[in-house]
Amino acid sequence: MKPAYEVITREIAAKGAGYLLLRRCPPQELGETLARGRAELLAAGAAELYAASADPACPLDEGRWEGFRLSHVRDMLWMERPLDQLPPAEGLTLEPLTRARGGAWLTLHNACFFDMPNSATYGLRELEEALGAEWRCGFAVADGVPVGVYELALAGEMPEIAGIAIHPDFQGKGLGRALLRAVLAELAGLGCGRCRLLVATDNGRAFSLYRREGFRAAAMKSRWFQMIGTA
C-alpha cells in the first residue's frame, strides 16, 4: 500500500500557511511521508506548515524527525445543539446572499476569517457553492451595516453552521453571540431539530461562546500539528 497524502497550498499566497493531510500511510513510513510532504510545502513557499492525519491506523503525535518536529496546535471538534428552547435573537438581522452582492460577500468573508485557525480564503468557486440550493449564506447586518457573514449547509443528515464571523472592526460588542442566535433561529424556522458546527479548540473566543450557548462536544474531526524546522 502506497502512502497517499494531500498537500494544500491555496493559503500560502494569502497567509504563508501550507497544510499536509495524510489520507493513507503505513505507520513505518510516517517519517518519510511527512518529510516528503514538508519538502513540497516548502518548495511551494509555505512559511508555516501544518499536518494532520485522516488515517486511523496512523495517527499523529508530537515528536521529532530528522530536520523537523511536530507540535500539537489544535483539534477540530464537532459540536452539536438541539434547536428547541432557543434564546432570543436580537441585535442584528440576516440578509441573504444574492449574486449581485457576491463580490461584497467574498470580500467581507475573507476579512472576517483571515486570522481564524485553519480558515480558507474564498473565491469564485466557493461563491457559486454558497449560492446553491443546499446552502443558506449571507450578511449579518447591524444598524444597516454589514458587520459579518454566515454560512449554513443544509445537505447533510444534520444541518451545519459552516461558518459565522464578525469583522474585527465590530468585535467586542456582543455581535458574535447575536449572530449565532440569529442563525439558530433561522435553522429552527426551516424545521431543523438539531444542528452542528466545527470549531478549532484554540479559537478560545468562539469555543467559549458555543459552550455558553448550549453546544456540546460530539466528535473529533482532526488533530493538527505544526511542523517546525530543527537545526
pLDDT of residue 1: 62
pLDDT of residue 91: 87
- Nearest alpha carbon to residue 22 among 9, 6, 1, 2: 6
89: how many CB neighbours lie within 10 A of its CB?
Answer: 19
At 166-224, the pLDDT tens digits run 999 999 999 999 999 999 999 999 999 999 999 999 999 999 999 999 999 999 999 99
pTM: 0.92
Q: How confident is the model at residue 3 (pLDDT cuts 50, 70, 90)?
A: confident
Q: How far apart are the first and last CA of the chain?
A: 32
Contact 50, 16 (CB under 8 A): no
pLDDT of residue 48: 97
Strands 17-24 and 4-8, by their bridges, are antiparallel
Average pLDDT of every residue of the chain: 95
With 90 as the cut, is the pLDDT of residue 2 above it?
no
Interval 65-76 mean pLDDT? 96
At 17-30, the pLDDT tens digits run 999 999 999 999 99
At 80-121, the pLDDT tens digits run 999 998 998 888 999 999 999 999 999 999 999 999 988 999
pLDDT of residue 225: 98
- Nearest alpha carbon to residue 70 among 225, 224, 223: 225
At 113-165, the pLDDT tens digits run 999 988 999 999 999 999 999 999 999 999 999 999 999 999 988 999 999 99
**Domain boundaries, given as residue ranges, for the chain:** 4-60, 79-221
Select from 3.30.479.30, 3.30.70.580, 3.40.630.30, 3.40.50.2000 the CATH code of 79-221.
3.40.630.30
9: how many CB neighbours lie within 10 A of its CB?
Answer: 15
* Residue 91, all three cell numbers: 441585535
Contact 227, 47 (CB under 8 A): no
Contact 79, 216 (CB under 8 A): yes
